[in-house]
Structure 1
């Protein structure tokens, strides 16, 4: 009888936990994309929103909407209330820096964020997990993020206060190392930014000594929002307006000819419709073969359409088409000294499939290999 009671009690508890999870909206992310700038909230339970489901993401989302920014939160996790318009995130309760680092490359390749909001290290302190080595682990994690998504802006926050005096002392020591880490990345040309989150909250903003109250989370939201607004492009522009159309000049606008094929980068049928694939075709000087590189790394055609990797793909064979310019990483390209053109978001090269030279062959991205079908000249 005693054994049966224990089993029955455990079963009731399990059902209750499942029911609570459903009520809280936890679980694997469903797609809520609005086509905006992809932002990954990354971290532990403070990103997930323990105690206040959705956490700082609620206030941040509301500020973005009020500011008329078009943003798509991304991540493999999903939770929060109805007034949080996009529930996706990459927050993992209880996780330390090393655990995030072990998984981050796969998440980034899948989600391909334009911007990353990183708040991590609290559990290293709470678990007393080689705290002296935590700054080094954070530096390694940042390097992995910037190597995987080199065009992304990475915002690195100091961790928020802790009520326990010993843990707070350890948190302050950890935080003191972060500005130097961030500056070292900036000095090496990385798009990394410091967010002083610790000073924005006090222990009075904590509901349990670790996690913020609703008001504390909103203070975090305000800090993230101010940081994002200070870095152009990290959340696009108000109203979803793309970067201004550059004025074409003879020196900046030209055809782009394939070395292997002798044919030009061409928008099929002179179409201006979003999703029209790009191909190679006999060079003819028409407007659908005139490409303008911009300071944002775009390749524009017709003045307002950008060379775009379809669906933000990163896999070999992902198609290339034109789309309204929107500032996302799948519309950024880099001309290399060997004549190749790299899709920055995918870190792969503009490629003519199977070394073809025929008119009408549709282009793709592929792992860079230096072959003639991946080399181009501006003519």
Structure 2
């Protein structure tokens, strides 16, 4: 296989802006096939919901967990951002907003989207702005009442706010958070579908990138906490569906992982091709971590290769680690044997671009979205 022309140089230069390239804000407005179908979930709050510092924030890891668990979820909201590896970019997060600002708009948002489940993380800016902090719990209680009145059949998950690096502000956050369990219980006693999620306990100040917003790791801890809370409440994200084939779509190209000509012979190298929904583009990631296509063929690192440039092919499924793949929350797909990333060769985006293994670089030709 030929060497990649100027690949190393190109990647080195790109590292400076990799985070911006791979996590750039996408254009406003709806996108095709944003939902993987199913339960409507509204992520609601401020910049921590929007994903400041890491566009997409906790929604990236939460979306990946939904997919891995075979849950069908539709994020809803009037806002739209995040990296290509986030399959559904809709949300209702507003940087800098306080409880009262969310309260002033929430009825319209709820009526427009009719969510089945609401994930509420709000109050950080009340503390950062020192905005009548003593009455913040009362404002939160009134906001929850407005949500439950407008969407009485929705499950509302109310999170304690995450830690703040400033000790005085974090003390105020703890005081605010301490009021939430009692408030939530009062709603439950009144027959409301309200739950508390202790997000403050899930993170430490070491998980913050700027003293306020989480790092990528911190956001993923939030995702894990939301996911556990949702799974504990029957119906809040529906039930897992039977595993079914999905398209594996390249973030850089928008094209699908494709078996050329639906060939079933061992050793067929995979390519990118326009997505068309046929069986040769329908992949199932099973409990054995295999990616299966055409019924009996597995995604395979050819010859058990573990070096850059190893061809990615189809082969009869046999269960060895060169046929096992991790579908990661950051959008990469890594081979269990080698740890290398599934890669569109030479940064290619056109039809016929071959698929190989390559050292993970964070670039968008190594990021993938699984779509039903």
Normalising by structure 1, report the TM-score.
0.57
Alignment correspondent of 2:5: none
Counterpart Cα distance in 2 of 1:29 and 1:95? 23
Alignment correspondent of 1:52: 54
Q: How does 1:121-270 map to 2 (within 5 A)?
A: 121-239=123-241
1:6-29: CA deviations, max 9, x gaps? xxxxxxxxxxxxx99x94226345
Deviation for aligned residue 1:82: 1.0
Counterpart Cα distance in 1 of 2:239 and 2:25? 32
Counterpart Cα distance in 2 of 1:101 and 1:30? 27
Q: Cα distance 1:30–1:216, how it changes in 2: closer, same or farther (>3 A)?
A: same
Deviating beyond 6 angstroms after TM superposition, the runs of 4 or more aligned structure 1 residues are none
Counterpart Cα distance in 2 of 1:217 and 1:240? 28
Aligned counterpart for 2:85 among listed residues 76, 83, 86:
83
Q: How does 1:1-379 map to 2 (within 5 A)?
A: 23-25=24-26, 27-30=28-31, 32-239=34-241
Alignment correspondent of 1:293: none
Deviation for aligned residue 1:240: 7.0
Counterpart Cα distance in 1 of 2:212 and 2:29? 25
Task: Confirm or deny: 8 A CA contact 2:43 2:76 kept in the other structure.
Answer: yes
5+ residue gaps in structure 1? 1-18, 242-379
Task: Confirm or deny: 8 A CA contact 1:29 1:76 kept in the other structure.
Answer: no
5+ residue gaps in structure 2? 1-19, 244-372
Deviation for aligned residue 1:33: 3.3
Q: Report the aligned-residue RMSD.
A: 1.9
Q: Cα distance 1:173–1:90, how it changes in 2: closer, same or farther (>3 A)?
A: same
Counterpart Cα distance in 2 of 1:223 and 1:47? 14
Counterpart Cα distance in 1 of 2:143 and 2:111? 15
SS in 1 for 2:163: coil
Counterpart Cα distance in 2 of 1:130 and 1:136? 11
Counterpart Cα distance in 2 of 1:210 and 1:29? 29
1:251-270: CA deviations, max 9, x gaps? xxxxxxxxxxxxxxxxxxxx
Q: Cα distance 1:144–1:214, how it changes in 2: closer, same or farther (>3 A)?
A: same
Task: Confirm or deny: 8 A CA contact 2:36 2:72 kept in the other structure.
Answer: yes
Alignment correspondent of 2:308: none
Counterpart Cα distance in 1 of 2:150 and 2:204? 35
Task: Confirm or deny: 8 A CA contact 2:24 2:83 kept in the other structure.
Answer: no
Task: Confirm or deny: 8 A CA contact 2:156 2:193 kept in the other structure.
Answer: yes
Counterpart Cα distance in 2 of 1:77 and 1:115? 17
Higher gyration radius (CA): 1
Q: Cα distance 1:29–1:98, how it changes in 2: closer, same or farther (>3 A)?
A: farther
1:123-176: CA deviations, max 9, x gaps? 000000000000000000000000000000000000000000110010000000
Alignment correspondent of 1:5: none
Q: Cα distance 1:109–1:226, how it changes in 2: closer, same or farther (>3 A)?
A: same
Deviation for aligned residue 1:35: 3.0
1:50-92: CA deviations, max 9, x gaps? 0000000000000010000000000000000111110000000
SS in 2 for 1:60: helix
Task: Confirm or deny: 8 A CA contact 1:29 1:75 kept in the other structure.
Answer: no
Counterpart Cα distance in 1 of 2:242 and 2:130? 44
Task: Confirm or deny: 8 A CA contact 2:35 2:87 kept in the other structure.
Answer: no
Task: Confirm or deny: 8 A CA contact 1:29 1:77 kept in the other structure.
Answer: no
SS in 1 for 2:74: strand
SS in 1 for 2:179: helix
Normalising by structure 2, report the TM-score.
0.58
